Structure 1
Amino acid sequence: MAENQEQALDLSFFMPGKAEVVEEVKAPISTRFKDKAGNLIPFVFKPISTERVDEIEKMSMRNIVRKNRVVGKEVDQSRFMARIAVETTVYPNFKAEELRKAYKTEDPVEVAKKVLHVAGEYSEWISKVSDVNGFDQSVEDLEETAKNL
């Protein structure tokens, strides 16, 4: 018990550079994208920082209008998650000029929607991004992981 108390008070675990480096995650999102050998092409994801999530949240605000007056602001959840997804997706890079030109839009979210035009693909993409960024983890999930260490 004394060892656990010492460990609980030891802040060195939280110092910069002490946490595990988060690796990229590869996962297929659609059965439509295959290489020349017929293998599914996985998307590549990397989680983004809390600071970046905060920035994206601010960019995703919209006005609440009542009786032609702006009475507040709220997060446009679908736009927020789409922007998180674009930032998390390393490959394909929906911000790439080549893709934006090909799909005739400057908006990477619109590029993603056009590439993943089948509703289930887009939904799978958003779901995977939520998972990669830890949005789908509950306290119970974390406790179960800790038990298995």
Structure 2
Amino acid sequence: MAERDISFFLAGNAKPVEEEEVIVSKRYVDKDGKVIPFIMKPMKTEDIEELEKSCMKPVMKNGKKVGERLDTSRFYARMAIESTVFPDFKSEEMRKSYKTEDPVEVAKRVLSIGGEYSAWIEAALRINGFDDSFDELVDEAKN
């Protein structure tokens, strides 16, 4: 067997993460009538893990906490928020415009047609490498 060169996997050898333009909605157009793409990028693994921890909900039985479960729809929406470079749903301007402090609520109001919101979640999952069983993830996120 030929010797394998592990040097390709050493620090600093990975290709840089690139931003990607994604059409999420055809309703937002520039002054020339061209659809404005969202700009998205993948999150770091550590950030996804932290996000997952923050989206855990207690599982209660007879008034006692017996475990935790992931709030998947919130997790997917927050992943999409963190993966979206433009528009910045966390910006003060956007939050004031839509009268909410929650960036997820801003996104829901901007992408008020169900298919737009689903396309945005789908793009975030795909960009972050979670597209293998995407249809199942979308169905779960909708529930």
Gaps of 5+ in 2: 134-143
**1:115 and 2:110 matched:** yes
Counterpart of 2:9 in structure 1 is 14
CA distance in 2, matches of 1:137, 1:129: 13
CA distance in 2, matches of 1:130, 1:123: 10
The structure with the larger Rg is: 1
Note the alpha carbon deviations across 1:66-113, whole angstroms, 9 max, x for none.
222221111100000111000000000111010011111111111111
SS of the residue 2:21 aligns to: strand
- TM-score by structure 1 length? 0.85
Percent identity, please.
52
- TM-score by structure 2 length? 0.89
CA distance in 2, matches of 1:137, 1:93: 27
CA distance in 2, matches of 1:67, 1:110: 32
Q: Tell me the matched-pair count.
A: 133
1:133 to 128, 131, 134: 128
**1:31 and 2:33 matched:** no
Structure having greater relative contact order (Cα 8 Å, sep ≥ 6): 2
**1:97 and 2:92 matched:** yes
Deviation of 1:11 (Å)? 1.7
CA distance in 1, matches of 2:51, 2:67: 18
